[in-house]
Structure 1
Amino acid sequence: MLVKPKNYLFEKMAFITKPIRRRPIGRGRLGLPLPQALAKFRWLLAPLLPLLWLFRFVIFAKNFCYDRGFFKSKRLPAFVISIGNLSVGGTGKTPATIFLAAALRDQGWRVAIVSKGYRREGTASVIVSDGRRILADAVTAGDEPLLMAQACDGVPVVVARDKTTAAMAADEKFAPDIILVDDGFQHRRLQRDIDVVMVDARMLLSNLWWFPAWPMREPATALRRAGFVILNTGGCSDCERMMKKCRRYTAAKIFSGALRGLGWRDLTAAQKILPLDFVKDQPVLLVSGIAHPERFRELAEKFGARVVDEITFADHHRYRENDLGAIEATRKGSGARYILTTSKDAGKLGLLPGATAAPFLVLETVFDIEPPFLTELVEAIRHKR
């Protein structure tokens, strides 16, 4: 079954919480990737053109005022590095932040991470982790901050509605040497020492409409503010062409990176990590609430899983008990032996009563970046400190 691009676009909108059911993989090809859907069917979004131009004007005016010094950025004692992107979601910011936090921690620096905690409950500042223990769950922290806290021992994680507020709280509470700002490229109210920008190798840097007509937050020319560019090459068939495109817009050094699977675990992480080929030839149901569910499917198939059905939710979906019932009913109806999900979804699914009894397997991953990147970044930090 070919999913209509219109529905595929709506799936990306956070306020849509109903799952989008897919037929078994063997019955047909699934939906178009977002950039291709936009390029082919952008006329469907023509009513949004007035909002698009208004958004462009606001972004231009904001950047102009910051560039000319009319708006001031808050300077903190800590060295501030933002990890952001140009588009809406799905470029690998969170796994790249985890990579950087662990790498810089291992270099001997005290590191803290700050984030907004998208779609969490409440707006107050929350310490997700003090570096020694987890102090919040996915509901109060947000799924991605919880994931970062779980993956980064010794690294405090703080969330607040405003990233500057979160950074000030982290600086006051933990006195870190380095603060990493998750999704901070557009948050110019906080002064950064280095901007690391993630670019999806599958996402064209031009000829795409801006938000709210989707998916660009800023034009490719904004890359001139970047200190480093990381090209997420996962599943890309023509990465060299994307490298050349990036070089048109920035003098920053460009490195490639990609998500790599480590193994499978249960929802509680109580059992040891199972090898990636544990799911080989096994009938599985895929469940995810991420920006690009097709990439999770590609990984599952790469590891040999036989995908018999799939349920996708909107990015950052907050799971409820009726979701779990529907998932289990689908698993039994499709004949799937296991339910495969992502580590981002696992923190929310694990809160549901009875979820740990279901045959969930969670994919553990790591984001690998070319080794010269860390060498260059450390040198830049030491030079600017």
Structure 2
Amino acid sequence: MLAPQSRTARDAALHAVADALSARTDEILAANVQDVARARATGTPEAVVDRLTLTAERVAAIASDVRDVVALPDPVGEVVRGRTLPNGLDLRQVRVPLGVVGIIYEARPNVTVDAAALCLKSGNAVLLRGSSSAYASNTALVGVLRDALHEAGLPADCVQLVPGEGRESATELMRARGLVDVLIPRGGASLIRSVVEQSTVPVIETGVGNCHVYVDASADLDMAVDVLVNSKAQRPSVCNAAETVLVHADVAEAFLPRALDALAAAGVTVHGDASWQRADARVVPATVEDWGTEYLSYDIAAAVVPDLEAAVAHIREWTSGHTEAIVSRDAAAARRFTALVDSTAVMVNASTRFTDGGQFGFGAEIGISTQKLHARGPMGLPELTATKYVVTGDGHTRD
């Protein structure tokens, strides 16, 4: 069992993992070459191939991330709350590992190591089921992890790769209730929906990101352009990239030309409503489908709204509940927006790209949860724990 292991033992094992990744980089890259070649041979888009590809620099970064996890505070044993009851009983609520965590995820091999490191740090065993496109890479990485754990004196089976590349292995994992304590899907909308709908194991639902930027009537327009372009174009293929911009009608005439030029310079195609279309011939007419689309590309939907309430109504109808941003110099408007918008994160005068465990100071993350159970938002180490009550008496009996 991993849970009773001390923090010292778990941290030493993670240091051993980081060292092994560095020492066996050539072996890992040789396996990755097989996956990349197969992906290209089957016509996989280059953006996906890039996410799949490992280099010596990327492996070094993965090893560095593991060392960063070692430095994070250990959540296991943390007292969430505690007090002495009137009858003299000592009551403590403490963090404990979830147990066996299953992760179903898509192409990025770095997730294999990130997920394993976070689970080990928080005292959990982990079952990893990556995509078939990264099977050779994941097999090599898990082999390195298991060898390092064994050499560090921890059970190698704390980290396991679910065997098989077909759907059957994922289905088996989803139906392993009683053997797996929680399942976390990490990937696109179809993967997450499939796991949520088919799993008999409890699921922590990570979410897709149909994120919005709302430019209020009082916005500093230079700031608004910067926030919008960064939210959309700094890295468009991730879940915290903006997919829709909404602009208050009072500033539309001044803001739209500036925004369109800046977005065009960043290579972004605007799918806009009639107001945006009138502002520039480059705008593609928006359809109903655009409002609900997570593009993950250099595309953005755009609309002009009459007021803040209309912006909130649009967001409520179309958001995935991930991240929304308001750009405004009006403190009352910002407070109203943050109160009315029910998403995992709400940004005021800041890019949506900040919704991230590392940016929030949590260290690495297992994913970003958009549900409303115990984990919501970037899931760091505390979110990979449950709690239990430890009650200490002195022969107490209940009347």
TM-score normalised by L of structure 1: 0.29
Please say which structure displays the higher CA radius of gyration: 2
The structure carrying a bigger helix percent of its residues is 2
Q: TM-score, normalised by structure 2?
A: 0.28
